[in-house]
Structure 1
Amino acid sequence: MPNTAPDGDLYVSPIHLAGSTFTGDPALAPLLGHGFALHDDELANVYVNSPQQHIRLGYLPEGPDNTLWKVAVHADAFGPPHWMAAFDSATPTELVTAFTTVLANSYAEGPDSYLAGMSHPIDEALRPLTQAGWKRTDSWAATVCTAPDQLAGLTYSRHLRDPQAELHDDTHRWLLWGGRDSYHSRWYATFTSRTPIHLIAATTVRLADPTPVLRYAPEVPARNRGAARITPVTPPVPTPLDVRRASAALAHTTIPRAVVRAPSVATTPGPGATLPVRALRRR
């Protein structure tokens, strides 16, 4: 497919090539629905906290670096984070939403659910990818899963000098990435050692899902378009009933016919797709 995508709304797959919608609402909604408080600052960064201050999330379009989403979970509200997760600005919004949806459900279940890091084997997070045809390679240093198109991957590092150091530097137990190797095309997500496996699995399940996602054309990274499957969203063909209704509307209007147009027919998104909300857009 040519590298220049058509204008308008598009269905894009696989999801790891779709880019971000730069929209905060979908991923914030699950937490807000469980009573989390929302605050913002003068730069339009948004902060969401659980009532007990044990779970904190930042949506940071004007943050100090390229990380758009930061999640910190605390066993003690006044102590250091128990675990952290981060998603950069190019990460597909649906992956962040999958993560926060299960995080919100875990919060409702209680601390044992959102604090227990290694209570499940790591295969729970890897299996959705391998079942979708990703190649798994194991070594003494790491387990790596790579997408069939070689444009996405997961790395689980087996040996870290100090798990606590993950909270302060760029060393992480889990690394997810996708897209062509370019500053504007490739995205990264990281999870520290104590991140509950079922939360990482929620992200990999969504990453492995082949259902196309909806994007506005400029949101799809230019370098990814040649490798992605892109289908323009086109209006459905009007039914005979639509035509009769349009004709009846024209017959009863007092506006000159030269400037009257038949009412448009709503476009129905494909399976799993939702029209992106344009609020809280990253500039």
Structure 2
Amino acid sequence: MRQPETAEPSEAGLNGDVFVSPRHLAGTTGVGDPGLAPLLALGWELRHDDLSNAYVTAPDQKIRLGYLPEGEDDGLWRINAYNDLFAPPVWGVCFNDSCPTEFVTAFTTALAHAYEEGPDAYLAPPEPGHADRDPFLAVVPLIDRGWQFDRPHHNVFAIRSPDKLATLEFTTGHLNPEAELTTRDARWHLWAGESADRPAWYATASTDTPVPLLTAVTECVSDPAPLPRWRQETFSYVKGMARLTPIVPPGPPTPTPLDVRRAVASRRPAALPASSVPRWSTTSRPALPGPRR
């Protein structure tokens, strides 16, 4: 596969912060706080287990998020919604441990908004032809930014990023509800890399995941703005595929005319008292020469 042409950073410049573009090659930040923040801001309950896994639960107990750095697999983020507390989840979403944190934050931010609207928003299943729930709406941000549909295969429709290094797959037909929640065999499968078998990162969403939540992720993934990362952690991962631009600290602001006047005034010598200023005239006697040495 032909890789995008990009200038490779020199070994001497590996230190420092960089912008990574396209953003689907940025990788995770390794920090979970931004993804949890939108839900904690609503007063959701946060608790930890003895392995430092974090669990966040909505006040009505119908949405649960697990941040699982010590989980049984690479599913770092697992979010499930319930219509009945004693029944299986209505929908489930998973982001693995390499997924850019900004994509998770986009999802949890949209989830927080949906929760404030009520169950009709955060439990609303996709509905083809519906003005707000048509599954196609989740793909629109990708189309608008140059992603292109790939040839369908095995009941799977795929749309790929311009560099062919990120893919969103939609599977048609019947799927096992339990497998959708515990494996990558889900209705929606978003991943980056050259192969779905060994993706750089992935995210999945089950059949009844609300469309606005999915759209928030595709909008964020396809955003052309780069993501900031620490170069030492991203260089080996994106070498030869992404554009790395050093983040230069901002320079001093351009001085305004008022700043210039103030600076000039501050450098002027202070005026001497009037009584100490010598007054000279053409009639003043010249100073007498001092004794020779």
Kindly report which structure 2 residues correspond to 1:211-250, keeping only aligned pairs within 5 A, or say none: 211-220=225-234, 222-239=236-253
Equivalent in 37, 45, 52 of residue 37 of structure 1? 45
Larger mean CA deviation between 25-34 and 3-12 belongs to 3-12
Question: Would you say the 8 A contact 1:174–1:190 is kept in 2?
Answer: yes
Q: What root-mean-square deviation, in Å, do the aligned CA atoms of Structure 1 and Structure 2 show? A: 2.5
**Aligned residue in 2 for 1:134:** 147
Equivalent in 204, 207, 210 of residue 196 of structure 1? 210
The Cα shift of 1:170 comes to: 3.8
Equivalent in 72, 79, 82 of residue 71 of structure 1? 79
Given the two structures, how large is their TM-score scaled by the length of structure 1? Answer: 0.80
The Cα shift of 1:224 comes to: 1.6
Q: Does 1:27 align with 2:30?
A: no
**Aligned residue in 1 for 2:54:** 46
Secondary structure at 1:220's aligned position in 2? helix
**Aligned residue in 1 for 2:65:** 57
Residue 208 of structure 1 aligns with an amino acid whose one-letter code is S
Structure 2 residues not aligned, in runs of 5+:
1-6, 128-132, 267-293
Say if 1:112 and 1:239 are closer, same or farther in 2 by CA, change over 3 A. closer
Distance across 1 between alignment mates of 2:186 and 2:17: 36
Distance across 1 between alignment mates of 2:59 and 2:50: 23
Deviations 1:101-156 (A, max 9, x none): 00011011000101111131111011100111011136471221001111000000
Q: Does 1:15 align with 2:23?
A: yes
Larger mean CA deviation between 118-127 and 22-31 belongs to 118-127
The Cα shift of 1:239 comes to: 4.7
Equivalent in 175, 180, 190 of residue 189 of structure 2? 175
Residue 29 of structure 1 aligns with an amino acid whose one-letter code is A
Question: Would you say the 8 A contact 1:179–1:224 is kept in 2?
Answer: no
The Cα shift of 1:6 comes to: 2.2
Larger mean CA deviation between 84-93 and 140-149 belongs to 140-149
Kindly report which structure 2 residues correspond to 1:113-124, keeping only aligned pairs within 5 A, or say none: 113-119=121-127, 120-124=133-137
Secondary structure at 2:241's aligned position in 1? coil
Say if 1:180 and 1:2 are closer, same or farther in 2 by CA, change over 3 A. farther
Question: Would you say the 8 A contact 1:98–1:203 is kept in 2?
Answer: yes
Equivalent in 130, 146, 170 of residue 156 of structure 1? 170
The Cα shift of 1:76 comes to: 1.1
Deviations 1:222-251 (A, max 9, x none): 232321111111223335769x99xx9xxx
Secondary structure at 2:139's aligned position in 1? helix
Question: Would you say the 8 A contact 1:59–1:69 is kept in 2?
Answer: yes
**Aligned residue in 2 for 1:276:** none
Say if 1:164 and 1:239 are closer, same or farther in 2 by CA, change over 3 A. closer
Deviations 1:143-201 (A, max 9, x none): 21001111000000012343354234442100000135599970000000010111111
Question: Would you say the 8 A contact 1:19–1:185 is kept in 2?
Answer: no
Between Structure 1 and Structure 2, how many residues are aligned? 246
Distance across 1 between alignment mates of 2:196 and 2:139: 25
Say if 1:39 and 1:186 are closer, same or farther in 2 by CA, change over 3 A. same
Question: Would you say the 8 A contact 1:185–1:224 is kept in 2?
Answer: no
Say if 1:235 and 1:179 are closer, same or farther in 2 by CA, change over 3 A. same
Larger mean CA deviation between 89-98 and 34-43 belongs to 34-43
When Rg is computed on C-alpha atoms for both structures, the one with the higher figure is 2
Say if 1:30 and 1:239 are closer, same or farther in 2 by CA, change over 3 A. closer
**Aligned residue in 2 for 1:253:** none
Question: Would you say the 8 A contact 2:93–2:181 is kept in 1?
Answer: no
Given the two structures, how large is their TM-score scaled by the length of structure 2? Answer: 0.77
Secondary structure at 1:67's aligned position in 2? coil
Residue 64 of structure 1 aligns with an amino acid whose one-letter code is E
Distance across 2 between alignment mates of 1:217 and 1:227: 14
Give the structure, 1 or 2, with the largest relative contact order (CA under 8 Å, sep 6 or more): 1
Question: Would you say the 8 A contact 2:191–2:200 is kept in 1?
Answer: yes
Quote the sequence identity (%): 44
